Amino acid sequence: MDAFAAFFPDLLVAAGLLLAALAAAPLALRLGVPGPAAFLAVGIAAGLAGIAPTEGLSALKLEQIGAVALYAILFQGGLATGFRAWRRSAKPILLLGLPGTAATAGGLALFGHVALGFDWPLAFLIGIALAPTDPAAVYAVLRGQGGESRARTILEGESGFNDPVGISLMVVAVATLAAGGGSYAGGVERFVEELGIGLAGGIAGGLLLVAALRATPWLEQGLQSVAIVAGAILVGAATASLHGSGFLAVYVSGLLVADVWAEQDGRHHAVPESLAAVAEPVLFGLLGAAFVPLVGAGDVWRGLALTLVTAFAVRPAVAAACLTASGLRRAERVLVSWGGLKGAVPLLLAAYPALESLDGAETAQAVVLVATAASVVVQGATLAFVARRV
């Protein structure tokens, strides 16, 4: 009974911190800083003060909570973009999301090894963690800017698509390092398997959800929304159980459902939007609180250096290569390049090495936290301005 009773003080603190993060978001926006920066700041402050209820959470528990939260964010991201808009910009989205993510990870790993002194395994783990554009951060910053543009569709589509790619890369890298190394062909095979099963699961699951929508127009809207979200989580969990990317499956199912659901009930749906809105502070706050005690002085300058190199060298080079034949104006290409925000997904990826107790796991978490905080504040505070100008 004592252990059960001890749960409620932790619940009290968790609920209080969540409310504090949500209350801080409007203040952050007034100061010109995006909402995710406030969520991360509250988590970091709680971690430094020793009041965050993360002490008893293992790396496995953090990843499990993070996976469910990311399912909610990615499904809402698919709904917000819609398949018709995604299809019109599919080529640049796929280029940025697949080879672009791999190239970004490779560029950051090279910089981390040569300039920052990381050994190659740690350099690759950090590079992979920082490669994806974060959907929670991108959607939060661009939400409410008004209007539609192809550049925004590409940026939002990429941020949804490259997270499953980054997660699959990290899964393969961690498994290979934990096994003491493996063949290149084996790693490629596992990566292709993750994404292939994930895509198939997303298409099958999305079609089933579309059929469910069309079969239940009479169902009360709130109840129908809950059923659709639960169905999306089921799609993700089933795909992951088959060793595919559940994250890709959830995102693809959201894309396929979006236009049909919009025709039936309008573009905005309170339940998935609310779940995604709650998932953002949970991810940012929880992971920020868990990682901040690990940060040392050396991690701070290395994280800042990685952010600067990403924003001003690696990301622009990758974006320029991937957008060469996109037809975007120069200003639109600048928006896509500058919009490579880091956030909760890089933090989630940084926790993967700890699942296998790999050497340097704590360093990866500390450096990625600093780089993420810098990216959210610097790029996040200016991205809305760039979007308005475009």
Over 155-177, what HEC string results?
HHHHHHHHHHHHHHHHHHHHHHH
DSSP code for 143: T
Phi, psi values for residue 254, rounded to 5°:
-65, -40
- pLDDT confidence of 173, banded at 50, 70, 90? very high
Q: What is the pLDDT of residue 267?
A: 66
Please measure the distance between the N-terminal and C-terminal CA atoms of the chain and give it in whole angstroms. 59
Amino acid letter at 160? G
Q: What is the number of other CB atoms lying within 10 angstroms of the CB of residue 215?
A: 9
* Least confident segment among 69-78, 177-186, 218-227: 177-186
Give whole-number Cα distances, 93 to 22, 133, 162, in Å. Answer: 31, 12, 9
Task: Tell me the per-residue pLDDT of 41-80, one tens digit each, with 9 for 90 and over.
Answer: 899 999 998 887 777 778 888 889 999 999 999 999 899 8
Alpha-carbon distance 76 to 121, whole Å? 34
Write the DSSP string, 314-377. IHHHHHHHHTTTS---HHHHHHHHHT----HHHHHHHTHHHHTT-TTHHHHHHHHHHHHHHHHH
Which of residues 377 and 389 earns the better pLDDT score?
A: 377
The answer to whether 341 and 141 are in contact (CB under 8 A) is: yes
Domain ranges of the chain: 2-389
Check if the beta carbon of residue 349 is closer than 8 Å to that of residue 131.
no
332-344: b (≥16 Cβ within 10 Å) or e = bbbbbbbbbbbbb
Q: Which of 1-10, 53-62, 82-91, 196-205 has the lowest mean pLDDT?
A: 1-10
Q: What is the pTM of this model?
A: 0.91
Asked if 140 contacts 35 with a C-beta cutoff of 8 angstroms, the reply is yes
Distances (CA, A) of 157 to 82, 95, 150, 182: 9, 11, 10, 33
- Picking from 95, 69, 93, the residue whose alpha carbon sits closest to that of residue 81 is 93
Query: Which residues, 6 or more positions from 362, have their beta carbon under 8 angstroms from its beta carbon?
Result: 294, 354
Cα 329 from Cα 287, distance rounded (Å): 37
Q: Are 68 and 242 in contact (CB under 8 A)?
A: no
Give domain 2-389's CATH number out of 3.40.50.720, 3.40.50.970, 1.20.1530.20, 3.40.50.360. 1.20.1530.20
Q: Report which DSSP code applies to 313.
A: I
**Would you state the structure tokens that stand for residue 364, as one six-digit string?**
């990866």
Q: At residue 353, does pLDDT exceed 90? A: yes
Can you give the pLDDT at residue 144?
54
Residues contacting 80, CB < 8 A, separation 6+: 139, 156, 258
Q: Is the dihedral of CA 126, 127, 129, 134 positive or negative?
A: positive
Reported as a single tens digit per residue, the pLDDT across 281-320 is 888 889 999 999 999 999 999 999 999 999 999 999 999 9
pLDDT digits (tens, 9 = 90+) for 325-342: 878 888 888 888 988 888
Return the residue matching tokens 């950051």.
108
